[in-house]
Copies of this chain bind each other. A is one copy, B any other.
Amino acid sequence: MSEQTEPIRASGSVVLDETDRLLLAHLGRDGRASYADIGLLANLSATAVRRRIDRLRSRGVVRGFTVVLDPEVLGWQTEAFVEIYCRERTAPEEILASLRQFAEVVAAWTVTGDPDALVHLRAADTRHLEAVIERIRREPGVQRSRSSVVLSQLIG
Which residues of A are interface residues toward B (Cβ below 8 A)?
9, 11-14, 16, 21, 24-25, 27-32, 59-70, 72-75, 77, 79, 81, 92-93, 96-97, 99-103, 105-115, 117-120, 124, 146-156
| 16 intermolecular pairs with C-beta atoms under 8 Å apart | A12-B75, A12-B77, A13-B74, A24-B103, A28-B66, A31-B31, A60-B70, A66-B66, A79-B109, A81-B109, A107-B153, A107-B155, A108-B155, A111-B148, A114-B148, A118-B148
Copies in the complex: 2
A65 CA to B150 CA, complexed, in Å: 22
Contacts of A31 in B (CB 8 A): 31-32, 64-67
A33 to B, closest residue via Cβ: B65
Q: Please determine whether B150 and A14 come into contact, CB atoms closer than 8 angstroms.
A: no
